[in-house]
Amino acid sequence: DGGITQSPKYLFRKEGQNVTLSCEQNLNHDAMYWYRQDPGQGLRLIYYSQIVNDFQKGDIAEGYSVSREKKESFPLTVTSAQKNPTAFYLCASSVSTGTNEKLFFGSGTQLSVL
C-alpha cells in the first residue's frame, strides 16, 4: 500500500538536544511538507519542498531544518534553537504544489520535552 510513514510516533527531547523526525513516502510525489499542530491552533507550515535538493521556509521555520536528498524522504530536525518544541508534527506530500492538489498526511509524531 502506498502512503506516508512517519517515525517515531512518540519522541522525547532533552534540553539542548537536536532531534530528527523521519518522513518517508512511496507515492512518487514531488512535493513534501512539514506542519506543526498545537492544541486549538490548527496547523502551521514549517518547511516544504517542491523537488529533490530544494526546499522553502514556511511560516514558522525558525529553530527547524530539513533536507531533501531523495524524493522519498524529507526528514525534519528540531534544533536546540526551537525553544518550544512540544507539539504534534505532521508530514504530508502531494503530486506537486498546484493549487488544487490533494495532500496526503502521515499519522504524525508527538514530540515532548523532558
Partner 1 sequence: GNSVTQMEGPVTLSEEAFLTINCTYTATGYPSLFWYVQYPGEGLQLLLKATKADDKGSNKGFEATYRKETTSFHLEKGSVQVSDSAVYFCALSDSGYSTLTFGKGTMLLVSP
Per this entry, what is the length of the chain?
A: 114
- Per CB under 8 A, does 40 bind partner 1? yes
Binding mask 83-112 for partner 1 (x = CB under 8 A): -------x-x-x-xxxxxxxx-xxxx----
Piece of 12-20, 34-42, 68-76, 77-85 that binds partner 1 (CB under 8 A): 34-42
N- to C-terminal Cα separation, the chain: 35
Determine contact, residues 82/63, Cβ cutoff 8 Å.
yes
Number of residues that bind partner 1 (CB under 8 A): 28
